Structure 1
Amino acid sequence: MTQPVQEDRTALVTGGTSGIGLAIAQRLQADGLRVAVLDLDRSQGRDVAAAHDLHFIGADLSRRADCRRAVEETVAALGGVDVLVNNAGFQHIDPIAEFPEDTWDTMLHVMLTAPFLLSKYAWPHLRRSGHGRIINVASIHGHVASPFKSAYISAKHGLIGLTRTAALEAGEQGLTVNAICPGYVRTPLVEGQIADQARTRGITAEEVEQKVMLEPAAIKRLLNPEDIAALASYVASRAAWGMTGAVLDLDLGWTAR
């Protein structure tokens, strides 16, 4: 097996011990980067990181101090931050009238405020890199809305705005800022949603995928985490030096209508 060329670059990937985040972390590692993964401080996350030879940072992104510490720990352990991947997030489904206020606050902090803070704290290191990269994992719901996902959709719309603004500020400083907007990806979270909808609607999991989740899409197939990781790999590469402020849709044709 060919060993990756060590690039002497480092990456911090939030939400990096499962799903899309883990796939991105593994792909960047295969590209030769040293990778730290951030997740809630749980034994399961630590075990996953250890199994893949990733540096684990236990942190709660709803806390400002943890955002700062995550960057500081990455620099101390790996020598810098050249690539920041803001991927962490979660979903909560409720109508606006019933949406818990504390859940709203937490979701916006984790998915919008934390990417701002991590970018802010990592900025000096990304500038020093000479080829710094910020990659924000947004969603097709950064473009379009669906009912019962008000906090999630508000955060993802905001993340695209943050991406574009940061890109304009970063251009003369040698770093790029881009967003990836996937459609539905086969992750444990989505698998859980499929099972829940199959139960409540009285239909099969396959029917949920095809008739509910993928109904607006041109390609009737869920993405895999590795598909998003492949795109992130290019965006993080030196070859992508001219790409900044881009909102990259990997959405199976969902938004082509």
Structure 2
Amino acid sequence: MNRLDRKVCVVTGAASGIGQRIAEVYARAGGRVVVTDLELDAAEATAAGIRAAGGDALAVAMDVTDEAQVVEGIAKAVAHYGQVDVLVSNAGIQIVNKLTDFSYADWKKMLAVHLDGAFLTTRECLRDMEKRKNGGAIIYMGSAHSHTASKLKAPYVTAKHGLLGLARTVAKEAAGYGVRANVICPGFVRTPLVDRQIPEQAKELGISEDEVVRDVMLKDTVDGEFTTVDDVANVALMLAAFETNALTGQSVMVSHGWFMQ
């Protein structure tokens, strides 16, 4: 079984959905988890649940697009636990629209959350890892859209492709002090983020919500099934626990065969 043995794990966007489940799985595997989210109360609720189950968790408020908040948040994690061993850059949002109808503000917001947030959190965690030279893992939450494209998601697809380049660069730069960087690429996971997309896409495409699920989201899977938060969390655990540079600079598809590489 993959074990984290008290590794300190920062998970962004961890108050709900995929991030919350990763935080819970990490704690169950022995990790000390820093639960970050935009809303401190929501982060604290997740952290409290982890502690109630016998785990070790700290809640930190963090807007990943705010440099000062990221610097302060990672500093709090290091002050509390003494180090950072794992970063899961998971915070994300979705805005669905035709490219010609996208506002510049929405385009910038999407790239800021997915790419600027990944950069800022990576930089701060790597600064701690580089000082200690004792290894670590950086894990980005990509998507099947890191490798393919869909209509109505121009900034999301652009950002998720960009995470591949960031991970590969980190893998090369940080290898000297034992840090691995990889990207998890899920298919559609039935979270509130995806649930909100179903009526939006139905309206934009002029089809029913059932058709969005069947003919858009799950059409190319091998079994017509959504990826689950547990599917993603278990891959995140494997990547966090893996101890050598044999597995770095890679993207791992978790999509029920929707995209194969």
Query: TM-score by structure 1 length?
Result: 0.90
**Aligned position for 1:154:** 158
Q: 1:57 Cα deviation (Å)?
A: 0.9
**Aligned position for 2:175:** 171
Relative distance call for 1:198 and 1:92 in structure 2 (3 A) is closer
Task: Say whether 1:49 aligns with 2:47.
Answer: yes
d(CA) in 1 for partners of 2:209, 2:139: 36
Greater shift, 95-104 or 30-39, is seen at 95-104
Relative distance call for 1:243 and 1:202 in structure 2 (3 A) is closer
- State how many pairs are aligned: 253
Greater shift, 20-29 or 193-202, is seen at 193-202
d(CA) in 2 for partners of 1:204, 1:162: 35
**Aligned position for 1:104:** 107
CA contact 1:130–1:174 (8 Å) conserved in 2: yes
Q: 1:5 Cα deviation (Å)?
A: 7.2
- Which one of 121, 125, 128 corresponds to residue 125 of structure 1? 128
**Aligned position for 1:215:** 219
- Which amino acid is the alignment partner of residue 78 of structure 1? Y
d(CA) in 2 for partners of 1:129, 1:37: 24
Q: 1:203 Cα deviation (Å)?
A: 3.3
Relative distance call for 1:247 and 1:6 in structure 2 (3 A) is closer
Tell me, what secondary structure is at the counterpart of 1:256?
coil
d(CA) in 2 for partners of 1:190, 1:6: 30
Relative distance call for 1:66 and 1:151 in structure 2 (3 A) is same
Tell me, what secondary structure is at the counterpart of 1:218?
coil
d(CA) in 2 for partners of 1:58, 1:103: 23
d(CA) in 1 for partners of 2:155, 2:178: 33
CA contact 1:83–1:126 (8 Å) conserved in 2: no
CA contact 2:37–2:43 (8 Å) conserved in 1: yes
Tell me, what secondary structure is at the counterpart of 1:254?
coil
Computed over aligned residues only, the root mean square deviation of the Cα atoms, in angstroms, reads: 2.1
d(CA) in 2 for partners of 1:163, 1:243: 12
d(CA) in 1 for partners of 2:209, 2:219: 15
d(CA) in 2 for partners of 1:103, 1:56: 28
- Which one of 31, 34, 48 corresponds to residue 33 of structure 1? 31
Relative distance call for 1:186 and 1:163 in structure 2 (3 A) is same
Q: 1:75 Cα deviation (Å)?
A: 0.6
Task: Say whether 1:256 aligns with 2:256.
Answer: no
CA contact 2:180–2:245 (8 Å) conserved in 1: yes
Relative distance call for 1:253 and 1:161 in structure 2 (3 A) is same
- Which one of 184, 193, 197 corresponds to residue 197 of structure 2? 193
Relative distance call for 1:170 and 1:240 in structure 2 (3 A) is same
Relative distance call for 1:114 and 1:226 in structure 2 (3 A) is same
Tell me, what secondary structure is at the counterpart of 1:20?
helix
Mind listing any 5+ residue stretches in structure 2 that lack a counterpart? 52-56
d(CA) in 2 for partners of 1:129, 1:11: 16
Greater shift, 225-234 or 94-103, is seen at 94-103
Query: TM-score by structure 2 length?
Result: 0.89
Q: 1:187 Cα deviation (Å)?
A: 0.9
**Aligned position for 2:61:** 58
Relative distance call for 1:256 and 1:5 in structure 2 (3 A) is closer
Q: 1:209 Cα deviation (Å)?
A: 2.1
Runs of 4+ more than 3 Å apart: 195-205, 238-241
Mind listing any 5+ residue stretches in structure 1 that lack a counterpart? none
Q: 1:223 Cα deviation (Å)?
A: 0.9
